[in-house]
Structure 1
């Protein structure tokens, strides 16, 4: 037991700023050092994509929006689409400090979920912390 404690004491603590690839600024905000790939919405119904997606502004002054995902098979019904699907509200990961609803990892996740389940998905782009502290954070 003492050997385990000594071994854990010799490991330096993880620097969360380095781990998340962010740098703190004197004013309390952060600089996001990493660039993550983003995917555009796929709203052209002529494209052979199994899921259509579109960005809808929520509050333009706050740069908040929602990306809606709709499985194509709903639109392909004849003579008119009548299928009602459940709505999933998806808040992307990133610890509320990094990434966005347009990040490729979350875009692809929502596309796959809309195909597999099927559901309509509203992936919300919210303001990130610590730049937008509560209660200003969110939408």
Structure 2
């Protein structure tokens, strides 16, 4: 299965709707296909300058490492030298904070990732998961 534009838009809409129900800080949300290409991006009014870059780094990091960024953050604590080297090699295009979540299809194949940035990582991740639920898509299971 391929991630569609309609699904990506539903992910964005669901994530932003969740953020508004929680009265969160303004967010940026990006959906990447499995090749790391942007499908849709949205930035709420008053979201700060680097939110696009952080959301993209969360989604791209999850895709590149094959796990969501919550697990990356945990792994980075235990192996700081490796993750510092990794970040240098890929020119910082990875973020070690919750909010980058892999997207799975019904066959459990990765079809993309969503990245959310703007509030604390736990809330960013909750919005990513809400967006996936809104689109009827699965998220990465905790490792």
Shorter-chain-normalised TM-score: which range? under 0.3
| RCO comparison, higher one (Cα < 8 Å, 6+) | 2
* TM-score normalised according to structure 2 size: 0.23
Q: TM-score, normalised by structure 1?
A: 0.24
More helix by share: 2
Normalized per residue, the structure richer in strand is 1
